[in-house]
Structure 1
Amino acid sequence: MKSIRVFLVTVILAVVTLFSFISALRGYETSLQEVERMFDSQLVEKAKLIANINVQSIVRNVDSSDTAFQVWQGGNLIGSSDNASQTILGKLQPGFRYHNFEGYRWRTYSYYNTINAQWIIVAARQDIRFSLAENIALKAVLPAVIGLPILAVLIWIVVSRGLHPMRRLAHELGDKQANDLSPLSIAVNSQELSQIVSSSNDLLARLKSSLLREKQFASDAAHELRTPISSLKVQLYNISQEQPERNKEFGELQKITHQLEHVVEQILALYRTSPDEYHTRFEAIDLTSLAQQVIAEEYDNYERKNQQIEFFGQRQLILGDKFSLTTLIQNLLSNANKYTPNGGHIIVKIKRENDQVVLLVEDSGPGIPTYEHERLFQRFYRVGGDRHTSGESGCGLGLAIVKRIAELYNAEITLEPSSFASGTAFTLHFSAIIPVTLDSKQS
């Protein structure tokens, strides 16, 4: 049951309906019994009335066809109604009985008049009696049945009013921004809801404290690491100037230093692009020009591996932030550069599809198995682990940052095989804002 209100109304109405049904059934049975007793009392009164008028012959048209009577004296029928049989109706014993004649079942009452030594037997058709009793009983329970829909509406209104503070609480929680961990300001009067609000505020306070500690640690650690890394790079440069002839170990040390610097920068980028802390006001960004700029800045990396990179773009504007989009493109291109072999091919495309701007980065690398796609964007995860067959170093944060930035822009990101014999194509769909196109090509 998805709705608490529907659940409460359904359960309450079901319980009320069950008890109403039981009560109505019991009332129906009781009403039938009461009506039966009333009709039996009428038979008794009729028998006494007939005894007092001293009937001595067949009496015609004294009553309706649903009743009949006989008067017996000394074993002889001395009087009766015109619709009564000539045989005795039941037994000459005091009390109520049932007797069949004229094709109907009759309720009979035998009364002995001690003054005249006469037996008076009065009969009433049972089917008519039952029909009348049933109508009376149904009229007694009908209001309870008719009242169920009205009761359901009243229950719905009462439950809705009772849950109104819950809806206000849900709306306040739903309206909170991702970075808003301030206490709830909703005023509540109920004890149960005040406990929920108090517990929620305590949780928000603990989350805020925990996130502050985590962010402070990540920021401080990354910034503090920059200083010794910069000093290390300076010292390595000085050593390289004093000892031009460098050995293999020195090259490895430079490579490790570069990798460490890369990890620190990626941690900072991941922190800056966190949706919870992203406050930059978006502006119109030319994604095509930005991609061309990133390619130009990173061109030495492709030239070093003798890779051919082609860019096909139609100038498209999206709402965004230059830093985050630059970081996204850099990480996509860095990923392609690392895992595309020497002499390989990389293609970058920016195009318009309806109301979306599409960024495509594909390479001729080894490709990524389909079963790895789910984990590919996890932090610190690398396909093949740290001992990747490409031999390229990495920290496993690049694509996690790409995923995070895509979430900032509500952009859809997909992975497919590239158009080459092997490789991977990353595609991102952004919302376009201005339908401007200008063909350009760079290779």
Structure 2
Amino acid sequence: MTARPVQSLRVRLVLGLSLTICLVWSGVAIWQFTNMQRELRTLLDDRLIASARMVVGIVQQFQQAELAAAPRASNDALLSVIGRDGVACEVSLVRSEVDILPIARTNNIPDMASAGSAGFGQITKGGKQWRTYVLEDKGVRVATADRLDVRDQLVQTFVRTLVLPFALALAGVLLLTWWISTRSLRPLRYLREELARRPPHDPTPVHAGRDTVELAPLVDSLNGLLARMDAAIAHERRWTMDAAHELRTPLTAIKTHVQVAQLVLDQAGPPAQAGDALRQAQEGIGHMHATLEQLLQLARLESASAPGSAEGAQGEAIVQAFALAVRQSCQRAAHEGRVVPAVAVQVLPAPGEGPTPWAQAVLPLPPALLTGAVSNLLDNALRHHQGEGPVLATLQWAEDAAGAAVEIRVRDQGPGLSPAECAQAAQRFWRKTASGPGCGLGLTIVHRIAESVGGTLVLAPAHPGLEARLHLPLHPAG
């Protein structure tokens, strides 16, 4: 199944708002551009009309006979008038429909601008297009003109003045939207941080986000889920303990009766088959009893690993719990009638030999659970050990980038496990062979103990045998 890409609510919010703003502003800008372009052209045309009317009014104050007789003398006077507003202009006298005499012209107007009919027109001179307006009144014809490329430049300037503020405003909106969305989504970050800090078995309600209208239903649903999960886990623990207690009592009674029967048959000299059957029944009952004890220990462990459990092992209590586990494992092996191999115990650094770091640390695990974890590792090692060499049990102080830790290593010289079997060994009720010794819960309990304090249990082939490494992080004292 292909994993879906991670999506950001903040990015989607900013992009959505930016797209909406761009679409709205683009529509407004297009409407304004079209409207202003039309108004600008109308304004420039009105300017041509107003300039032409003004020039006609001024020219009519001169005597046309004088202008026609001496146009050059009057040219300078007219030029000083018609060139004031900067509009290209040409003044002509109309003698007949075909006889038009130019008497004054600005330098920036093309020739024959006054030719043609009155009103607006368009001519091309020198590769340039001109917008012209011709006004004729009482024998005076005035032509005003604008270059179309200059008009286009005015339109482009207007577009730049419209686009630049739009781009700057859009950039500002993007930054403000990103900042506002970051602050608005801060309750989500608080909720994530609270959940990240929460211990695995903490069922207390979540508080972050409850004061936010949009997050309050989500937080309420999450708290409801935590409450239901806690109730389900508590129910499972109670069921495990109740079942184990209910089964232990009749099994203890059956075991006692079998032992009495075995004693009576041994004294009366029974047939060998009856004695073997009773011994096998006693072994089966012992196996079931051990399984129930492990189930009870697992249930107690899950109850003890919840919030509010007992204080951890401090200082020398770590070393004492380790030594107690070694003694208990050897006593159990001897009580079961098995040959107990030698156990080589090593504590590094050894306590009592100068300053040691053991008194400066706290293991966030009750001493009883530490003893139980080491006992289960040693029980497995003693049960599967072969050869004359000792079982190695080491308690060592370790320090790395993550901080100080306790590392417990137990190594036997038995048949060992393959890497694939090592990965499965911590599963509940897993055994290498169905008829093998044990009940398949010891390593599960050790793994659960390590997991409850953020530690690890690693099983690795030792050639020969198996090495179990239990890594438990320490807290500084005080």
What is the TM-score when the length of structure 1 is the normalising length? 0.81
How far off its partner does 1:280 sit?
A: 1.3
1:49 matched to 2:45? The reply is no
Q: Is 1:336–1:362's contact at 8 Å kept on the other side of the alignment?
A: yes
How far off its partner does 1:406 sit?
A: 0.8
Q: Which amino acid aligns with 1:360?
A: R
1:374 matched to 2:397? The reply is no
Q: Is 2:423–2:459's contact at 8 Å kept on the other side of the alignment?
A: no
Q: Could you report, residue by residue, the CA deviation over 1:172-206 in whole angstroms, capped at 9, with x for unpaired residues?
A: 55565544434456785665434323323432332
Aligned to 1:348: 393
Match of 1:293 among 317, 324, 331: 324
Q: Could you report, residue by residue, the CA deviation over 1:293-351 in whole angstroms, capped at 9, with x for unpaired residues?
A: 32223225389346443222224735231111111111111222333346565322222
Distance 2:45 2:250 in 1: 110
> Structure 1, unaligned stretches of length 5 or more?
436-443
Distance 1:135 1:241 in 2: 115
2:20 match: secondary structure? helix
How far off its partner does 1:160 sit?
A: 4.6
Match of 1:82 among 107, 111, 114: 107
Aligned to 1:276: 306
Match of 2:406 among 327, 336, 357: 357
Relative to structure 1, the CA distance from residue 343 to residue 252 in structure 2 (aligned partners, 3 Å threshold; closer, same or farther) is farther
How far off its partner does 1:279 sit?
A: 0.7
CA RMSD of aligned residues (A): 3.5
Structure 1 segment 101-250 matched on structure 2, within 5 A? 101=126, 105-113=128-136, 115-116=138-139, 118=141, 120-156=142-178, 158-160=180-182, 162-167=184-189, 169-170=191-192, 173=195, 176-184=198-206, 188=210, 192-244=214-266, 247-250=275-278
Distance 2:131 2:52 in 1: 10
Q: Which has the larger radius of gyration?
A: 2
> How many residue pairs align between the two structures?
425
1:264 matched to 2:292? The reply is yes
Distance 2:386 2:125 in 1: 108
Q: 1 or 2 for the larger relative contact order (CA 8 Å, sep ≥6)?
A: 1
Q: Is 2:322–2:371's contact at 8 Å kept on the other side of the alignment?
A: yes
Aligned to 1:441: none
1:313 match: secondary structure? strand
1:333 matched to 2:378? The reply is yes
Q: Is 1:69–1:123's contact at 8 Å kept on the other side of the alignment?
A: yes
Q: Which amino acid aligns with 1:44?
A: I
Relative to structure 1, the CA distance from residue 39 to residue 380 in structure 2 (aligned partners, 3 Å threshold; closer, same or farther) is farther
Q: Is 2:422–2:460's contact at 8 Å kept on the other side of the alignment?
A: no
Aligned to 1:397: 441
Report percent identity of matched pairs. 24
Q: Is 2:411–2:465's contact at 8 Å kept on the other side of the alignment?
A: yes
Distance 1:365 1:260 in 2: 24
Q: Is 2:392–2:411's contact at 8 Å kept on the other side of the alignment?
A: yes
Q: Which amino acid aligns with 1:36?
A: R
Distance 1:348 1:189 in 2: 54
Distance 1:304 1:89 in 2: 129
Q: Which amino acid aligns with 1:107?
A: W
Aligned to 2:88: 68
What is the TM-score when the length of structure 2 is the normalising length? 0.76
Aligned to 2:455: 411
